Structure 1
Amino acid sequence: MLPFTYALRNLFRDPARLLQTVGGAALVVLLLIAAVALNEGMNSVLENSGSTKNVILMGKGSEESIERSEVPLSAESAVATSVRGLQEVLGVSAVSGEIFYQAPLHIAQGKESQALLRGVLENALLVHRSVQLIDGRFPQSGEVMVGHLAHRKLGVAEEDLAVGESLYFGDTELKIAGRFIAPGTVLESEVWFDRNDLAVLTQRDSLSSVTVRMDAAEFEDVEVFTLQRNDLELAAISEQGYYDKLSTFYEPIKVMTWVTAALVAAGALFGGLNTLYAAFAARIREMATLQSIGFTRKALFVSLIQESLLATLTGTLVAFILGYFILDGLAVPFSIGTFTLTLTPSVIGVGLITGVLLGTIGTLPPAIRCLAPSLPSALRSS
């Protein structure tokens, strides 16, 4: 076998080629880990947003869009008194009638951005257990409460949504009374209104949904209630099931992310192959000379793979460093919320596997071509 230092020295014979190989590998790995992190982040936030203990009641025929759903106001009290086994806190049933609305909000500095608004009463905290106030208090009339990632969704600085600042819904000024967290869920990107305020502002006399939290009750108990109360025209769906449907809805976006990453990666890969073909073709006589002094083709092949692996794994390391500073912790807004990119072990694993494959499988065609000529022909090559 050739010494490892031979492969290491050959890397620096052509600094421009080395830079191109390392840069190409870094680009491919960075794109792939970005695609994996993007898909993992979206899947994670949608999975974590739904609780197995929560059931959502929506209007029949609107199960796929809670914003288009209409539920009578009377449904909230009806389900609280009719379904046994719901969770209770100090005698109050965990039942929350809510209004959902997508609308632009104006920030005091004149910025206008689309936001997901949720009209709630204090009962919402009995249902959405992940919500925790970190500053201020629950909103009263004329006030709102914002999630700690809402500024990402709205595209403004975090201090613009501090407690005491103002938001405008049309011409109506609303003071920010509190800020909350709901780790890993879409709730963190929402703006919560007093339900009565949002009903007046949107001219609604109905709810969008009623969410209940079960204790001894089961999903079938809530479903039986919807069948018994045909006058309310309700459909029951588990909260987890609702977000699973949303995940399916966003599947084309995930596919397009992979396709885009694959196309750019393919371009970088073919560019890298051309570079290797040119570099190895210029070394055919060198390889033949090494064979003539006793080194086998297998040994030469392994040395070429080592050389390529050193370059691609260096590029992989560069991609991880860039990913750590550019991608890790980056909040990405989408239509119903915001998710955070994280360099999880699976993301890092995909990057490492990609770097190894680039240095091995990507090197096979040019290496085989370099070593294919017979020894006499190779020694006569120019």
Structure 2
Amino acid sequence: MIVLGAGSEESLERSEIGARAPGILSASVQGIRRTAGMEHVSPETHVALPIGLDAAGGATDNGLVRGVGHAALLVHPEVRLTGGRWPERGSGEVLAGASAMRRLGVDAATAIGSRIMLAGTPLTIVGTMQAPGSTIDGEWWMPLEDLTTLMRRETISCVIVDLDGATLGDVQAFTLSRLDLELAVLAERDYYASLLAFFAPVRVLVAVVAVLMALAAALGGASALAAAFSERVRENAVLETLGFPRHAVALDVLLQCTIVALSGALAGGVIARWALGGMLVEFSMGTFALQYGPGSLMLAGVTGLVVAIVAAALSTWRWIGLPTPEALRTT
């Protein structure tokens, strides 16, 4: 769970609590998880800062920097060190997330020892980390004391706590008993759920735009396919004079449209999965990965089938309305 400043429940970056709050919390709440005698209590500072390569003409970016201690690895078990070592206090060192390095154009294979500029301060990358599927993968970590010194602040942003026996109500009772600390407590899941709700209108807008673009592409494909098959009015009439019933000829057109549309849709789906699957899309201070799974491939197939049905209906509509002699004279 997250203990943060009262009134800042919607943004850890805006939260500020006293640096002594973690110690008071540990002493006041019984039932905090321990590993090898170390409590799962991680004081952290979250700050958005400009980051760039320490080189002339180097790339620049706005990144999320997190000041942490060793306890951060206890409360964030999804984090995995992939190279180098943990940054030391007072040495101007940082730990780089995989997505954060990719955004800045740093090669993960040669990242160790690279220099970056954080808000005008040169720092050295001494370790790399991964946390797939989480925001941490796009963050920069450095010692808590170094970040607070860099920001010239005496407060921290929050405390991340793992409980073992205690409950959310116990921590809430602590925050209510110490009004002087001005604390609030949220389950981590609830915090990110509130962020998700905040961005819900943006997600709806993106979904509407995506549906409109997909609909335009599907109608364009159906129109092109119908135009290709609608020129076969005379051919269909010839098949009818040879003894094939109209429904059989129409079914043949539908089958051909289905083969063409499904082949194109599935080929496009496979190419999209190969080219776009896992691609990182950058925005402001973060990234998100494009996921293309079996469901997306199935959606491509269903869309191709719908396009085929619409194209077959459009291409046979003209022929069905004509008598056979007139259809044979059609050019």
8 A contact 1:182–1:188 mirrored in 2: yes
Cα distance in 2 for residues equivalent to 1:229 and 1:71: 12
Cα distance in 2 for residues equivalent to 1:207 and 1:292: 85
Q: CA offset at residue 377 of structure 1?
A: 4.0
Q: CA offset at residue 277 of structure 1?
A: 4.2
1:154 is aligned with what amino acid? Answer: L
Q: CA offset at residue 132 of structure 1?
A: 1.8
Cα distance in 1 for residues equivalent to 2:72 and 2:227: 66
Higher relative contact order (CA 8 A, sep 6+): 1
2:119 is aligned with what amino acid? Answer: G
Cα distance in 2 for residues equivalent to 1:357 and 1:223: 54
The equivalent residue for 2:108 is 158
Change (3 A) 1:153 1:279: closer
TM-score, length-scaled by structure 2: 0.90
Question: Sequence identity, in percent?
Answer: 37
Cα distance in 1 for residues equivalent to 2:30 and 2:24: 11
Question: Once the two structures are superposed, what CA deviation does each residue of 1:298-320 show, in whole Å capped at 9, x if it has no partner?
Answer: 21121111111111112123212
Corresponding pairs, count: 327
1:71 is aligned with what amino acid? Answer: I
Cα distance in 2 for residues equivalent to 1:361 and 1:265: 15
TM-score, length-scaled by structure 1: 0.79
8 A contact 1:188–1:337 mirrored in 2: no
The equivalent residue for 1:116 is 64
More helix by share: 1
Give SS of 2:17's match: coil
Within the candidate set 76, 83, 108, 2:22 is matched to 76
Question: Once the two structures are superposed, what CA deviation does each residue of 1:94-127 show, in whole Å capped at 9, x if it has no partner?
Answer: 0111101111112122322111000011111111
The equivalent residue for 1:60 is 6
The equivalent residue for 1:147 is 97
Q: CA offset at residue 295 of structure 1?
A: 1.6
1:210-289 counterparts in 2 under 5 A?
210-289=159-238
1:85 correspondence with 2:31:
yes
8 A contact 2:108–2:128 mirrored in 1: no
Pairwise CA RMSD: 2.1
The equivalent residue for 1:128 is 76
Change (3 A) 1:357 1:270: closer
Give SS of 2:155's match: coil
8 A contact 2:265–2:301 mirrored in 1: yes
**Gap regions ≥5 residues in structure 1:** 1-54
Q: CA offset at residue 208 of structure 1?
A: 0.9
1:98 correspondence with 2:44:
yes
8 A contact 1:188–1:338 mirrored in 2: no
